[in-house]
Amino acid sequence: MPELQRLTGEPLVLRKYGDSFEDTVLESELAERGVGRVIVTGAQTDACIRATLHGAFVRGYDTTLVSDAHTTEDFSEYGLPPVDKVIAHTNMYWTWQGGPGRVADVIGTADVTFAAAGADAVS
């Protein structure tokens, strides 16, 4: 996708599992850069998105789900909820996550910021 070109020096994290942290270099890349907050977007809400949210959170990261920037396939023919319900459920339950010393939140794309630590950032 032309709009998503990696800049020179940006790492590429290859993964085999739903959780982007599982058996990858993601955590070491984030640690090297002093990252404490992970913003999650992408595909397969009911698999990779959920796994990565939980993987980041249990590793101590503040974890933000972008409510209007994740999606999934329609598996309703197998008795599962339709896409809009899967997305709504994930947005709802992630809003209520909590843990000592870290924040889990859900925000829309318009509210995403990439401010440096200590700056006025959405948390």
- Kindly indicate the confidence band of residue 114, based on its pLDDT and cuts at 50, 70 and 90: confident
What is the per-residue pLDDT for 2? Answer: 84
44-97 pLDDT, tens digit per residue, is 999 999 999 999 999 999 999 999 999 999 999 999 999 999 999 999 999 999
How crowded is the C-beta side of 11, counted as CA atoms within 13 Å? 13
The structure's pTM equals 0.88
Task: Give the separation between CA 58 and CA 34, rounded to whole angstroms.
Answer: 17
**Domains (ranges, CATH) in the chain?**
15-106 (3.40.50.850)
Mean pLDDT throughout 26-49?
A: 95
Angle made by CA atoms 89, 53, 5, in degrees to the nearest 5: 110
